[in-house]
Amino acid sequence: MGHIVISKCIISAMRLISQLTHPHGTAIWDLEPAGILPQEDAMQVPVFHVVFVRNPYSVVNRKGARSSSLLFRNGINMEENRETAEMENTQEQEEVVLHVHRHLYPEEKELKTAKKEYKEYKIYARIMFVFFLLFGWLGGSLLPYGFTSSLRTMISRGLGLDDGDKINAVKEVLESDWYFGKDIENLDERLTDQAIEGLVANSEDTHTLYFSAEESDSFRQGINRNYCGIGVQYLEIDGTNIITKVMEDTPAQQAGLQVGDVLYEADGTLLSDKSAEEIKEIIQGEEGSIVSLKILRQDKIIGMPVERKNLVSIADGKVIDDRIGYLQLYQFGDSSGDAARRYLDTFREAGVSSLILDLRDNGGGYLTSVTDVASLFLPKGSAVLQREDKEGNITVSKTTQEQYCQIGPIVILINENTASAAEVLTMALSEQRDDVTIIGTTSYGKGTVQVERKFSDGSSLNYTTQRWLSPDGVWVNDVGIEPDREVRLHEVFYHTFTKMKEGNEYKVDSVSPSVEDMALCLDYLGYQTDRKDGYFSQILSDNLRQFQHDYGLEETGNLDVHTYRYLYGQTRYRWQTTTDTDTQLAEAVKVLQGM
């Protein structure tokens, strides 16, 4: 239709030109295709010859033959002379040829291209339909499934993996083609967890972590330190599980359990061959339920039923002398502020005026909790920490309550495991008060803040969003807090122990890392040692024989696995049940007594 309209416009224009240039007669003209001329764009446009003839009664075509009609050669009959017969006309004719290009508008170009593509698509679709129809018939009728499966695997192996989504590409390959995947239950879940763990693992930030549902619950419980049990701590020494601490106001204390009692049996199950984790699972349970214990005390077996109760073991405290209180915070969980306040109430009633705040081995916790604890020792509105996000925006966290008590001076104990929120409190008190002394060893140095985002299945992503700075702008990350007075414990607590193998035995003149372990334990327990370099001297043998005698072991003077485990266990037991070897605590008491 567009061709007809454009052609009529051209004809009208030619007639007008003819009348202007040939006033003595009407110009008769003819249009015919003249091929295709090259164009700048990709479309091809037909070109027409326009022929002007001075004699209006005779038309000569391009081959010289006369015609009784005027025809537009692309199919449009312009005029037919039905009245006049063919006449001879010798009058000289003048022929003028013009090249006229038919213009295609953008819409016409797009339509023409779309029609061409659609036509090609229909041809391709028909071919593919026939191909897959035949392939499916042959594959299903002539070939076994195993063959087609193997063929599919071979084809997929020959193809490259999608660079745009490598994680899912690898996951799909492992799920479909990994040999060991057949033996793994919940393979999809495991691969997903491993992929996420790989995403969050980086050298810049070791504190961004992904937790499964079980790990997330355990992590949260570790911070809040809440559980349902009886309220004891125990230590395994070569198959013997010895109670090292009985918590105050717990079912264990009410039942009469004591430090040094051996956990012998629980609900009819012998505990001598159980690990510490297995014993915990047996003793802990639902609130209000009863666990039937048998304990060994001075070679007597005593039975006692103990009721389980929901407990929180977040803090501990005691009065050391008439005016010094001792408060230990294990973590900064939901109830740390309330627990600290209860102990401060006890200290105030006892007339305590100075405090030892023990943050050793405190790995941190919630910043809201550390702000609650700081409010006990700082005036309202005091800065506790500054938090800086990746855009450089700084938020200052301040105490929101009136200072709870005026206790002081304060000594804070820290060590290499004091981290995060525990470091926040240490810096806040030391910078905001003039009566704080820090004793111990350099702290861990964790100066970042993480938030938790949970998935619907209970798993969670804990990732770093900010760094924290002290009220004065100090960043302790990877540096830690240096104490005002550096005091180290016995060297046995900084030593890495080897695991002595079953069947090994060391005698005088032997050399082994296990002999070095033995010498350090003997020295800590108060026995004489002449060297700690792994060489088994005669003096070490004599003192080892004395240890064996004191604890009822076979007196050989040689180091076997049984003696090795007992040495290590007694070292831990003494540390957990007494304070006479705690040099850092002793220094804290000395500082406060001298003030």
Predicted confidence (pLDDT) at residue 33 exceeds the cutoff of 80: no
Q: What is the mean pLDDT of residues 214-242?
A: 91
Q: What is the mean pLDDT of residues 532-556?
A: 97
Phi, psi of 491 (to 5 degrees): -65, -15
Predicted confidence (pLDDT) at residue 94 exceeds the cutoff of 90: no
Whether this model's pTM surpasses 0.85: no
In this prediction, residue 549 has a pLDDT band, given cuts at 50, 70 and 90, of: very high
Mean pLDDT lowest among 50-54, 372-376, 568-572: 50-54
Phi, psi of 284 (to 5 degrees): -75, 155
Q: What is the mean pLDDT of residues 385-401?
A: 96
Predicted confidence (pLDDT) at residue 194 exceeds the cutoff of 60: yes
pLDDT for position 413: 98
Report the half-sphere exposure of 294 (CA within 13 A, side-chain side): 12
Tokens 């002793």 correspond to 586
Mean pLDDT lowest among 43-47, 227-231, 270-274, 344-348: 43-47
In this prediction, residue 406 has a pLDDT band, given cuts at 50, 70 and 90, of: confident
Q: What is the mean pLDDT of residues 96-125?
A: 65
Given a contact cutoff of 8 angstroms between Cβ atoms, the answer to whether 429 and 455 are in contact is: no
Q: What is the mean pLDDT of residues 288-316?
A: 94
pLDDT for position 3: 46
Q: 544 forms bridges with which residues in the sheet?
A: none
Q: Are strands 300-307 and 309-312 parallel, antiparallel or unpaired?
A: unpaired
Q: What is the mean pLDDT of residues 458-470?
A: 96
Predicted confidence (pLDDT) at residue 73 exceeds the cutoff of 70: no
Token pair belonging to 210: 């992904």
pLDDT for position 172: 87
In eight-state DSSP terms, residue 164 is: G
Pick the closest to residue 425 from 510, 503, 368 (CA basis). 368
Q: How distant, in Å, are the alpha carbons of 7, 12, 70, 122 from that of 75?
A: 11, 18, 11, 30
Predicted confidence (pLDDT) at residue 14 exceeds the cutoff of 60: no
Predicted confidence (pLDDT) at residue 516 exceeds the cutoff of 80: yes
Cis previous bond, 46, omega within 30: no
Compute the distance between CA of residue 244 and CA of residue 473 in angstroms, rounded to an integer. Answer: 41
In eight-state DSSP terms, residue 402 is: -
Given a contact cutoff of 8 angstroms between Cβ atoms, the answer to whether 236 and 569 are in contact is: yes
Mean pLDDT lowest among 125-139, 234-248, 310-324: 125-139
In the chain, what are the domains?
2-104 (no CATH), 165-201 (no CATH), 226-308 (2.30.42.10), 315-486 (3.90.226.10), 491-586 (1.10.101.10)
* Whole-number average pLDDT of the chain: 82
3-state secondary structure 412-458: EEECCCCCCHHHHHHHHHHHHCCCEEEEECCCCCCCEEEEEEECCCC
Q: What is the mean pLDDT of residues 393-421?
A: 94
3-state secondary structure of 25: coil
Pick the closest to residue 210 from 220, 201, 218, 202 (CA basis). 201
Quick one: residue 170, left, alpha or beta (phi over 0 = left, psi -120 to 50 = alpha)?
alpha
In this prediction, residue 159 has a pLDDT band, given cuts at 50, 70 and 90, of: low
Mean pLDDT lowest among 7-16, 26-35, 499-508: 26-35
Q: What is the mean pLDDT of residues 89-95?
A: 46
Token pair belonging to 393: 């925006």
